[in-house]
Amino acid sequence: MTPPPQDARPSASPPAARMLDVAREAGVSAMTVSRALRDPASVSAKTLARINEAVARIGYLPNRVAGSLSSRRGNVVGLVVPSLRNSLFAETIQGVADILGNAHPLMIADGGYTLAGEEQAVAAFLAQRVCGVVLHNTRHSARTRALLRDAGIPCVETGNLVRDPIDMAVGFSNQEAGRAMTAHLIARGYRRIGFVGLPWRENDRAAERLAGYRAALAEAGRAEDAALIHQAAPGLASGGAALAALMALPTPPDAVFLSGDVLAAGALLEAARRGWAVPGQVAIAGSDDGELQSSLTPGVTTLRFPRHEIGRRAATMLLDRLEGRASGRAVLDLGFELVVRASA
Amino acid sequence: MTPPPQDARPSASPPAARMLDVAREAGVSAMTVSRALRDPASVSAKTLARINEAVARIGYLPNRVAGSLSSRRGNVVGLVVPSLRNSLFAETIQGVADILGNAHPLMIADGGYTLAGEEQAVAAFLAQRVCGVVLHNTRHSARTRALLRDAGIPCVETGNLVRDPIDMAVGFSNQEAGRAMTAHLIARGYRRIGFVGLPWRENDRAAERLAGYRAALAEAGRAEDAALIHQAAPGLASGGAALAALMALPTPPDAVFLSGDVLAAGALLEAARRGWAVPGQVAIAGSDDGELQSSLTPGVTTLRFPRHEIGRRAATMLLDRLEGRASGRAVLDLGFELVVRASA
DNA sequence: TTGAAAGCGTTACCAC
DNA sequence: GTGGTAACGCTTTCAA
């Protein structure tokens, strides 16, 4: 008798074991197995042992789909980010995943930097009956807000601090951050301070940073010079180009605050190539501290945002609500840090 | 009469609309609604219109949990990565997500660089009855392999090319890559070629690259010098330190291949700080091309891996199987590119 | 083209 | 402590 082929995939695999199979194997009812698995203490020690043996013997894996339907309670958490590629979001994602662990699987969708993309992702999550949602953003379409409000599940927005959250929010104030860095440059004695930011029409965080820059100038009684305000795409090369453009002005700046992505690092590399002394000829300040900014020479004076912690707190708030430890709206400001190095 | 509080969250929200509610609203049976939603063509135009109206009116969102249980077919795909933080994995994740779209929500778990972590993540996914799994790794525990084989769902391993996949695999050969870069350095006329890699005891990809380095030396009839082989943690600083260590040898190398992460960029920055001419005094080669390596001066000669495409192909293979367009095992080699710039 | 009945595998509820 | 029974909201199957 020849044995059947070993790896005839995708052969019809035997149907997965059910709870009833475990019950039979252990000589108890399905109900008892269910309880034993969810709350081992609610079952006698002997029964528990027999059930555990049976589970191991037949390789039983609980069916969470059936469980969720029956209990009307899911365990999956949904997370929407603008992009999966961006390492800044990756920090927050990791923070969320660290807290959730395997008990709360994480569904991640990429909303593609558009309100419509986010809305579709949220709708898809709700169809999967997620037990909570984390949004990496604080601007949403009206329908996104409505969907989430009506779903009756907890929702945490992360990122730019918001005054009117859908439900809960964790983040920091980009405006305050922009203001703080600009004030630092003013305090250091720089007279003509340039600003480079990501396209602020589409990006509320970038817009807030610019507002902070303006606020700081106004507070110091400085006039704003439109020629010193520059918009740049993300990327090292883009930061370098922006610095070059500002330095080509008839009256170039003596300091530039490049807010976002790795713009500041790009500017520093460009300055090195051009032989501009930093900070002697032009000071450079950035945002979003990372290994790159601290490893360059000179080190980049920058803002440090608690992105990982934001993820952890977002997940914690969600779990607290799911497990009844908290209720009601909440907005949590985790602040930021000004890291002063040699570049400014 | 005072209206009830507007945002009494978490107030008991009204139960979500069911298919039956849509059916009543549209004056048809639930069965007809089910069909209309999954295959609009199978229902008369008038009926379809009434159903769509009803869906919109009551804001119905299909319950995929119930649907999956009933049809015994899920739509969620599971993805396990060693870390969510690492931007290299982010490329592949994005590729997978791009192809899957919202029709196949993506569950992502972080296996934490350990076989046990991956195993737990896989078990959690199977409990959620995912319809397919993508693994960012080709080394697994015996139980991981067994679980996946018995689950009877498609599985794609990505990363280092593997000869014996659990089911399907997409990737490139790290050994070939290591060999190619080393051969390039030999062809350029470098005599003492150093190798710096990530800890190869725990990392099969790093081990393969080292094997490739050795193979290339052997092919060229060169003796291997253990002093020139260095292990380094990931990170810019680590790459700089590794280069410094090699350059401090009695007979320093004239070229160093730093394989992995941003080690090469760190080495280049270190060389700039120390005033070592690159490639005059020491040539530097790296791997994993990114904006950083191309933006530095000189540009880094490096290996480019199709990480985004690997994700896209992995997802495509999964969908092809799920939709019956393909069957059987498959191993896909997407190769790599040698990018020659000024540093080596 | 449409509908009724019978599950899918689990958990809630209530009895023993 | 344990077990029956009836959902959970949908899809499958079969009949009209």
| One-letter amino acid for residue B135 of the chain | L
Q: CB-based contact (8 Å) between B90 and chain A?
A: yes
Residue B41 near residue B30, CB atoms below 8 Å = no
Cα B9 to Cα A139, A200, A207, A329, B214, distances in angstroms: 20, 33, 31, 8, 63
Cα B166 to Cα B115, B119, B157, B178, B323, distances in angstroms: 15, 14, 8, 25, 20
pTM for the model stands at 0.93
The pLDDT-based confidence of A5 (bands split at 50, 70, 90) is very low
**Cα A197 versus chain centre, distance:** 20
pLDDT value at residue A113: 87
Residue B291 CB-density burial (10 A; 0-12 exposed, 13-18 middle, 19+ buried) = middle
The pLDDT-based confidence of A8 (bands split at 50, 70, 90) is very low
Question: How would you classify the pairing of strands B155-160 and B132-136?
Answer: parallel
- A7 has a pLDDT exceeding 60: no
Residue of B295, B296, B317, B325 to mutate, interface with A, max A Cβ within 10 Å: B295
Average pLDDT for chain B: 94
Phi, psi of A174 (to 5 degrees): -65, -30
Nearest to B291 among A66, A236, A321 (CB): A236
Residue of B86, B102, B118 to mutate, interface with A, max A Cβ within 10 Å: B102
Query: Which of A 324-343 lie inside 8 A of B, CB atoms?
Result: 327-329
Segment B74-92, tens digit of pLDDT: 999 999 999 998 888 999 9
Per-residue exposure over B23-60, b if at least 16 CB sit within 10 Å of its own CB, e if not: bebbebeeebbbbbbeeeeebeeebbebbeebbeeeeb
Segment B163-208, tens digit of pLDDT: 899 999 999 999 999 999 999 999 999 999 999 999 998 888 999 9
Answer whether any strand C atom is within 7 A of the Cβ of B69: yes
Answer whether any strand D atom is within 7 A of the Cβ of A39: no
Q: How much of chain A exceeds pLDDT 70, in percent?
A: 97
Answer whether any strand D atom is within 7 A of the Cβ of B44: no
Chain B nearest C-alpha distance from A220 (Å): 37
CA of A22 to C1' of C13 (A): 23
Q: CB-based contact (8 Å) between A164 and chain B?
A: no
User: How many degrees, rounded to 5, is the angle at CA B317 between CA B311 and CA B318?
Assistant: 90
Segment A216-268, tens digit of pLDDT: 999 999 999 999 999 999 999 999 999 999 999 999 999 999 998 899 999 99
Query: Residue B303's beta-bridge partner residues?
Result: B338
Chain A nearest C-alpha distance from B188 (Å): 26
* Chain A residue closest in CA terms to B322: A10
pLDDT value at residue A100: 97
**Could you tell me the end-to-end alpha-carbon distance of chain A, in angstroms, rounded to an integer?**
80
Average pLDDT for chain A: 94
Answer whether any strand C atom is within 7 A of the Cβ of A29: no
Query: Which of A 190-219 lie inside 8 A of B, CB atoms?
Result: none
- Say if the Cβ atoms of B64 and A128 lie within 8 Å: yes
Residue of B65, B104, B145 to mutate, interface with A, max A Cβ within 10 Å: B65
Segment A167-212, tens digit of pLDDT: 999 999 999 999 999 999 999 999 999 999 999 988 889 999 999 9
- A2 has a pLDDT exceeding 50: no
Q: Strand C: which nucleotides have any atom within 7 A of a protein Cβ? A: 1-5, 7-13
- Which residue, B125, B18, B69, is CA-closest to A69? B69
- Say if the Cβ atoms of A297 and B273 lie within 8 Å: yes
User: Looking at the C1' of nucleotide C9, which residue has the nearest alpha carbon?
Assistant: A66
Q: How far apart are CA A320 and CA A196, in angstroms?
A: 40
Query: Which of B 289-308 lie inside 8 A of A, CB atoms?
Result: 291-292, 295-297
Answer whether any strand C atom is within 7 A of the Cβ of B31: yes
Q: CB-based contact (8 Å) between A236 and chain B?
A: yes
- A87 has a pLDDT exceeding 90: no
DSSP structural state of residue B94 = H
- Say if the Cβ atoms of B97 and A83 lie within 8 Å: no
Q: Which residues of A touch B86 (CB under 8 A)?
A: 90
Q: CB-based contact (8 Å) between B71 and chain A?
A: no
User: How many degrees, rounded to 5, is the angle at CA B83 between CA B82 and CA B84?
Assistant: 135
Segment B23-73, tens digit of pLDDT: 999 999 999 999 999 999 999 999 999 999 999 999 999 999 999 999 999
Segment B236-262, tens digit of pLDDT: 999 999 999 999 999 999 999 999 889
- A9 has a pLDDT exceeding 60: no
Residue B255 near residue B186, CB atoms below 8 Å = no
The pLDDT-based confidence of B330 (bands split at 50, 70, 90) is very high
